[in-house]
Amino acid sequence: MIEQIKQKSTLSYFNTFFLFFGISVIIELFYMGVLGVVQGTTLTILELSLSFDNAVINALILVNMPPIWRRRFLTWGMLIAVFGVRLVFPILIVFATTDLSFVESFSLAVNNPAEYEKVILASHHIVMAFGGIFLLMIFLSFLFNENKDVHWIGAVEKYASRWASVGDLKILIAILIVATMGFYGPSELTIDGVMTKIDKADIVLPMIYGILLFLLIEFLRGILEDDGQKHDSKNMETEREKIENVANSKLAQGGFASFMYLELIDMSFSFDGVLGAFAVSQNIIIIMLGLGAGAFAVRNLTILMVDRGTVSEYKYLEHGAMWSIGLLATSMLVQIFVHLHHALIIAFAIIPIAIAFYHSVKENKLNGENNIDI
């Protein structure tokens, strides 16, 4: 099994991406002509640029998941990623923030893209509040971890680890942010170039929901994966035996919790891509196909990183990804009030990971370790 993974070529990992991208191009060509292909390809590149760090985070979680749930991540998970997050989720935003039914919201997206975009942009602050605080909780959970032995940015991470023993500081920080928004948040925002009055509850409540959702997922993972270590420690001879044992254990249920956790992270990471997509195209079908192809590439990259052992080989990669999440969370909270250029957001996503990767390679060379090719 391991030998087969090592012999597998890098390009072969991206077969599903090439297949979906090819089908997408054909649909876009018949649907909108050359313009549709150009817009869809641009959106695919945008998704890849914004979600590279998502691949690293996915790999960190996926490497500890049962094999059966890894496969489900690539099958069921892709259906959720492409049709759920990139198609249904934007329509749900319209459904939740207007008096339109779900069918009417879908009809608006297909038949009146310009008006649909206006409704989406009017809900921008709600989406940013929810996604921003959810990602921030992930970063703070990493930062205030007293059991963390490896520290990348020592001055910050060591200090934070020591303070983690005092109490659950991530909850305190999150509550302070929500309280600050409630007391000092603006009552007016510039939406689509127009100063518009808003209800502070439209910012505070999504933040509370984001915190509660994070805590719920963490709680479920803690319960369902309680005896996972027992099964991980068993020496099973074949992959089939491992899958059968895992399928009959609580770890399978824990795999489900991790699976849902990954999908929620993907949704949070996709907010910027979905909202930014309207700068390229207003057509919901082109947006779904373009971003969906990018999502396939990101997930294929995730499996490549897991199989090649990239995450374990480069010990600071997790740290870079988490700092990237922290910067992206901060940028989303800032974007509740002001617009940030996509180039800056892409820099937040890529630069911490690139620096962490460089430091990992440098340390491996100093220790005389052989790096695994990505």
Give the DSSP letter string of 9-53: -TGGGGHHHHHHHHHHHHHHHHHHTHHHHHHHHHHHHHHHHHHHH
Q: Helix 34-62 to helix 250-277 angle, to the nearest 10 degrees?
A: 150
Nearest residue to 252 (alpha-carbon basis) of 263, 243, 265, 239: 243
Q: Which pLDDT tens digit goes with each residue over 43-73?
A: 888 777 667 667 777 777 777 777 778 778 7
Cα four-point dihedral sign 298, 304, 309, 313: negative
Residue 372, pLDDT score: 45
Q: Whole-model pTM?
A: 0.68
Buried b (16+ CB within 10 A) or exposed e, 137-153: bbbbbbbbeeebeeebb
Nearest residue to 112 (alpha-carbon basis) of 91, 92, 96: 91
The mean pLDDT of the chain is 76
Q: What percent of the chain has pLDDT over 70?
A: 80
Nearest residue to 201 (alpha-carbon basis) of 272, 132, 268, 130: 130
Residue 131, pLDDT score: 81
Are 93 and 270 a contacting pair, CB within 8 Å? no
Q: Which pLDDT tens digit goes with each residue over 73-100?
A: 777 877 887 777 777 877 877 787 677 7
Residue 243, pLDDT score: 36
- Of 28-42, 213-227, 353-367, which gets the smallest average pLDDT? 213-227
Tokens of residue 372, six digits: 């695994």
Residue 339 has pLDDT above 90, yes or no: no
Residue 251, pLDDT score: 46
pLDDT bracket for residue 176 (50, 70, 90): very high
Residue 373, pLDDT score: 47
| Alpha carbon 43 to its chain's center | 17
Residue 156, pLDDT score: 83
27 burial (CB, 10 Å; 0-12 / 13-18 / 19+) is middle
Are 357 and 314 a contacting pair, CB within 8 Å? yes
pLDDT bracket for residue 1 (50, 70, 90): very low
Q: Which pLDDT tens digit goes with each residue over 109-155?
A: 878 877 887 787 777 788 788 888 888 988 888 888 877 777 787 77
Residue 22, pLDDT score: 94
Alpha carbon distance 90, 106 (integer Å): 9
User: In this structure, what are the phi and psi dihedrals at residue 191, rounded to the nearest 5 degrees?
Assistant: -115, 120
Alpha carbon distance 257, 224 (integer Å): 7
Give the torsion through C-alpha atoms of 288, 293, 295, 301, to 10 deg.
Answer: 180
Alpha carbon distance 157, 164 (integer Å): 10
User: In this structure, what are the phi and psi dihedrals at residue 190, rounded to the nearest 5 degrees?
Assistant: -85, 110
Are 268 and 134 a contacting pair, CB within 8 Å? yes
Distances (CA, A) of 177 to 66, 127, 206, 222, 334: 36, 16, 13, 26, 12
Residue 38 or residue 267, greater confidence: 38
Residue 80, pLDDT score: 81
Q: Check residue 83 and report its DSSP letter.
A: I
- Of 298-307, 337-346, 358-367, which gets the smallest average pLDDT? 337-346
Determine what percent of the chain falls in helix, strand and coil, rounding each to the nearest 5: 80, 0, 20
Residue 103 has pLDDT above 70, yes or no: yes
Q: Helix 34-62 to helix 342-366 angle, to the nearest 10 degrees?
A: 40
Cα four-point dihedral sign 133, 137, 139, 144: positive
Are 81 and 274 a contacting pair, CB within 8 Å? no
